[in-house]
Structure 1
Amino acid sequence: MSTIIYPSPIFGPVHSRRLGISLGINLMPADGKICTFDCIYCECGFNKDHRTKTPHPTREHVAKALEAKLKELKTQDIHPDVLTFAGNGEPTSHPDFAGVIDDTIRLRNEYCPQAKISVLSNSTFIHRPKIHEALSKVDNNILKLDTINADYINKVDRPTQPSYDVNRIIADIKSFNGQAIIQTMFMKGETEDGTNIDNTGEEFVKPWLDAVKEIAPREVMIYTIDRETPDHSLQKATHEELDAIRDRVVALGIPCTASY
């Protein structure tokens, strides 16, 4: 069983394939994982294997730890390209997410004004007014949309909320009026129980492209597996497959990057 459980609330900086030198902000407890998805490809492992026993870090703790780290990096002449909310679960599930965003903007402006603030979210809470408002303040509001196929979502992303509805998610992403970035995982192979999870074929790509066109995001980021996954039978999409999908997004007039 492979997992990466990140320190909390600050980790890195690390080199991100998509974002550059990234200082991570993990709003989940450091002893496990809390997420509204239970993705079979998650580098943090399956939810059931990492139940937390400690609470979320408080808003005050996050701000204090972030300021200390930014001061340290400044003395080392290290300049992060981005402050990235990621880690052991869904960052917008933090009980004071909006307040943490306000603190992070203030500290970024003071210590590293050139850095962008990014949030990697699975989109499950973007319908909440306070979450929507907070995400509208950040530089890179990166929202997951792996497919629009409900059966695939239930087999691969595995939402923990019975009310999850991809059509509502699409409408909620549209409500950012072009200021969201869509992030999509493409991969191949089968699950350990033999279920085919290849979403690189036309059956999945064409409807996804139609949704992307409807949403009209600022940018699209497509990627494939980078680290070992808890389901060990999954496979990377090829460079050629990702490049072909990227080119189709670009043909819609939407910037798109592919990470291999």
Structure 2
Amino acid sequence: MYKYLFGPVPSRRLGISLGLDLVAPKTCNMNCVFCECGVTQELTTERKSYIDVEEAKKEIKDILKTVKPDCITFSGDGEPTLSSDLGEMINWIKDNTDVNVVVITNSGLLHDKKVRDEIKRADIVIPTLNSAIELTMKKINRPKASISLKEIEEGIKALGEEFTGKIYLETFIIEGINDSEEELNALYSFLKDVKYTKLQLNRLDRPGTEKWVQPASFERLDFIKKYLEEKGLHDVEILGKFHIAEQEKIEKNDELVENMKSKRVYSEEELNAIYK
């Protein structure tokens, strides 16, 4: 029985992504309005161990006998940097497998040097910055009160200076909230001095926590991409639909798929896009 693994997930940016969840369900330092995993039940910034590390390692060794993912992604329905086992698990995967490691984070704990040191061997880190204006960030992310925009920006900037892998910086666009010229100018003013590989514009793809959050139109995303590029930001891209060739589809492991579906809603179209 798999307790910590799920998927592989059809990821629009990572391909065939095997998910690894290191925290308790719905445990996070934010309660984002767009979260596809539902409302945060445990809002905390305390880092601790949530898993049996040896059992997680056994699960990975077992599944890699039959599944060859493009990457193992630390994600799930909580914030992975809340796990004090994160560094050990990343190091073990890098030392014992040939699979790329990805860490998806809301950036709330990146100001902590210990956290940045623990993820330094990852191949890709995907940090989020949804607004460079404090009031808007708090409206969208609804973080634990102790988390500030200043800390988030300090963490993202430090990651860019220290991390040797790829940084796919994500901005989740909600029309009418963080897509005005004031918002985009603030985002540019911060990011022009930040080192990153790509700036990825994301939109709601599955039902979010708050029903009023609707998918941004691709027309609006295209406007934002061009606006930021004209200001001077590089490698801005819009996340599109997941697609792999028919011959690259994989066999379905029912248990892992059920684990995946327990975390968020997946359409039949998404499942058919990755599984034979």
Q: TM-score, normalised by structure 2?
A: 0.77
* Equivalent in 134, 137, 149 of residue 153 of structure 1: 137
**Which stretch of the first structure deviates more once superposed, 81-90 or 127-136?**
127-136
Does residue 215 of the first structure (1) align with residue 194 of the second (2)? yes
**Per-residue deviation, 1:100:** 1.1
The aligned counterpart of 1:194 is none
Does residue 205 of the first structure (1) align with residue 184 of the second (2)? yes
**Per-residue deviation, 1:180:** 3.0
**Per-residue deviation, 1:26:** 0.9
* Equivalent in 4, 8, 21 of residue 9 of structure 1: 4
Does residue 107 of the first structure (1) align with residue 65 of the second (2)? no
Check whether the contact 1:149–1:204 (CA below 8 A) recurs between aligned residues.
Answer: yes
The aligned counterpart of 1:182 is 169
**Per-residue deviation, 1:80:** 1.5
Distance 1:105 1:250, change over 3 A: farther
Structure 1: gaps spanning 5 or more residues: 1-6, 74-78, 110-114, 189-196
Q: Residue 84 of structure 1 aligns to a residue in which SS?
A: strand
Aligned residues: 230
Does residue 165 of the first structure (1) align with residue 151 of the second (2)? no
Check whether the contact 1:125–1:131 (CA below 8 A) recurs between aligned residues.
Answer: yes
Relative contact order (C-alpha < 8 Å, sep 6+): which is higher? 2
* Equivalent in 210, 215, 230 of residue 209 of structure 2: 230
The aligned counterpart of 1:67 is 61
Q: Residue 11 of structure 1 aligns to a residue in which SS?
A: strand
The aligned counterpart of 1:125 is 109
Check whether the contact 1:217–1:254 (CA below 8 A) recurs between aligned residues.
Answer: no
* Equivalent in 22, 30, 39 of residue 32 of structure 2: 39
Instruction: Kindly provide the CA deviation profile for residues 24-81 of structure 1, in whole angstroms up to 9, marking residues without a partner as x.
Output: 111123xx2100010111111111399xxxx7222212211111111121xxxxx312
Q: Residue 47 of structure 1 aligns to a residue in which SS?
A: coil
The aligned counterpart of 1:80 is 69
Q: Residue 94 of structure 2 aligns to a residue in which SS?
A: helix
**1: distance between equivalents of 2:42 and 2:113?**
32
Q: Residue 151 of structure 1 aligns to a residue in which SS?
A: helix
**2: distance between equivalents of 1:207 and 1:57?**
39
Q: Residue 72 of structure 1 aligns to a residue in which SS?
A: coil
When the two chains are superposed, the root-mean-square deviation of aligned CA atoms in Å is 2.2
**2: distance between equivalents of 1:42 and 1:69?**
28
**2: distance between equivalents of 1:257 and 1:97?**
29
Q: Residue 192 of structure 2 aligns to a residue in which SS?
A: helix
**1: distance between equivalents of 2:105 and 2:42?**
21
Check whether the contact 2:136–2:177 (CA below 8 A) recurs between aligned residues.
Answer: no
The aligned counterpart of 2:264 is none
